Amino acid sequence: MTDASSQYHVPVMLAEAMDGLNIRPDGTYVDVTFGGGGHSRAIMDRLGPDGRLFAFDQDEDAARRVENGEWRVEDAARFTFINENFRYLKNYLRLHGVRKVDGILADLGVSSHQFDVAERGFSTRFNGALDLRMDRRNGTTAADLVNNATEEELAEMLRLYGELPNARQMARAIVRYRECKEAQGSEKESKGIATTSDLKEAVRRHLPHGMENKYLAMLFQALRIEVNGELEALKAMLTQAAELLTDDGRLVVISYHSLEDRLVKNFMKTGNFEGKEEKDFYGNPLSPMRMVSRGAVKASEAEVAANNRARSARLRVGARRKVNGEK
Ligand SMILES: C[S@@+](CC[C@H](N)C(=O)[O-])C[C@H]1O[C@@H](n2cnc3c(N)ncnc32)[C@H](O)[C@@H]1O
């Protein structure tokens, strides 16, 4: 790993992820969340001349690193970067003539770089546009969302995706604040809530004393999940991963909040997102996946001390199993 990539993002649970992938030097692998390329670099280092790595990231800043050569690729024939959402994993791999892969890695959420750029709006630390899109080529920003959603929609989103105990009060405060701003503003600049500071100001009275940062992080998490359709993309990717993996091919997922981790755990155990075990007439499990890791793997104390982002990380390893009757 180069210095530049460690500044962009320090990879979390690198050794555990590589163990989980169980890399074959001549295999084909996919890193669906390239970010700063720390995990991708470690995969490349384990591949021989016939191995291949495909990396996805929907963020143009990640793509620029590859395009500008900030992420060194000694052997371009072995590495392909795809600047797209991993919800289209199967289609883009097919475009490259790939129908089966030996391992897939997903290190979910946002990179440190995304957090550190004020105008992307990911961090509660800075004042910036309330954007929160990972892919700025399309979609609704968080500002659009908080200015246009109804109070009920906001409350539901904050409850579901932020797990905020006072979601209803926060939603009400956001709606009051935006109405106030709109009433005050001239026609030209009646933007309601436009910046991260506006949003923080709107909910200020609803942040319990001593837990201000925690509640703000939960609020921003909720908006980020909604703006980026994160849970839908994760479900689509997991479903396609099971179809793409060769027998015993590995799926390694690192998640950073319980909503993601629950989907990953259920899917690896049962092949569906409800965690419902289904069996055939003879009692054989119908799931295309089996769980390899025992429980969720957490980062070591030493890693958490060195990299605070590792604190909430949960890594799970699943493998593709041959389902009865399948060709
Ligand atoms: C935690 S970072 C990955 C860091 C990376 N493992 C490393 O070692 O540098 C997550 C990255 O995944 C990307 N990402 C998140 N969801 C995505 C999606 N649905 N499709 C494509 N990229 C996504 C983000 O843009 C971000 O760059």
Half-sphere exposure of residue 246, counting CA atoms within 13 Å on the CB side?
A: 13
Question: For position 174, what pLDDT does the model report?
Answer: 98
Q: Please state, as a whole number, how many other Cβ atoms lie within 10 Å of the Cβ of residue 140.
A: 15
Q: In angstroms, rounded to a whole number, what is the distance separating the alpha carbons of residues 204 and 216?
A: 9
Instruction: Tell me the mean pLDDT in the region 88-106.
Output: 98
Q: How far is the CA of 65 from the centre of ligand 1 (A)?
A: 13
Q: Is the CB of 58 under 6 A from ligand 1?
A: yes
Q: Give the tens place of pLDDT for each residue, 32-62.
A: 999 999 999 999 999 999 999 999 999 999 9
Closest CA to 129 of 142, 139, 147: 142
- For residue 288 and ligand 1, the question of a CB distance below 6 A is answered with no
| Ligand 1 atom closest to Cα of residue 105 | 6
Q: What is the pLDDT of residue 120?
A: 84
**pLDDT over 60 (residue 116):** yes
pTM of the model: 0.93
- Summarised one tens digit per residue, pLDDT across range 271-299 is 999 999 999 999 988 999 999 999 999 99
Output the residue whose Cα is nearest ligand 1's atom 13: 33
**Measured from the CB, is residue 110 less than 6 Å from ligand 1?**
yes
Tokens of 51: 């191995």
42 lines ligand 1 (CB under 6 A): no
Choice from 6, 12, 57 to test ligand 1 binding pocket (greatest atom count within 8 A of CB): 57
* Atom 15, ligand 1: residue with shortest CA distance: 109
**Probe ligand 1: pick from 1, 12, 16, 33, max atoms within 8 Å of CB?**
33
What single DSSP character describes residue 323?
P
Tell me if 234 sits within 8 A of 301, measured CB to CB: no
* CB distance 313 to ligand 1 below 6 Å: no
Q: How many helices (H) and strands (E) does the chain have?
A: 14, 8
